[in-house]
Amino acid sequence: MYAVIKTGGKQYRVAAGEKIKVEQIAADVGQEIVLDQVLAVGNGADLKVGTPLVSGATVKATVLAHGKHDKVRIFKMRRRKHYQKRQGHRQQFTELQIASING
């Protein structure tokens, strides 16, 4: 059984027992959270697609850790104009362990 969920402006295909990294969620480590924005639920050949959400479907997950992704380096340059700009960014994430899919 799998589900397509929406969190942090992105969509993820998840199944029970998987670990995923999503945009940071305000929750403590070890806390169980419920993701209720479920776009689709599939079980073998059976697929339920919501309009836009599947009513009554939820995904339970446990927060494993918080952290930061690798640094992304931004470099802008205009040739012959004596302009160079360097910038870096590290996006924060929350690692989730998918416990169960209901729906």
Task: Note the pLDDT of residue 50.
Answer: 93
DSSP state of 71: P
Q: Give the number of domains in the chain.
A: 1
**Residues of the chain where predicted confidence (pLDDT) is lower than 50:** none
Torsion of CA 58, 1, 67, 53, to 10 degrees: -40
Task: Note the pLDDT of residue 3.
Answer: 97
Kind of pairing between the strands at 46-49 and 19-23: unpaired
Half-sphere exposure of 17 (CA within 13 A, CB side): 1
**Cα distances (angstroms) measured from residue 93 to each of 26, 30, 49, 68:** 10, 15, 27, 6
Task: Note the pLDDT of residue 103.
Answer: 82
Buried residues in 4-21 as b, exposed as e (16+ CB within 10 A): bbebeeeebebeeeeebe
Total Cβ atoms within 10 A of residue 101: 22
Domain that holds residue 78: 2-102
Task: Note the pLDDT of residue 52.
Answer: 93
pTM of this prediction? 0.86
Task: Note the pLDDT of residue 23.
Answer: 97
Q: What is the pLDDT of residues 42-61, one digit of tens each?
A: 998 999 999 999 999 999 99
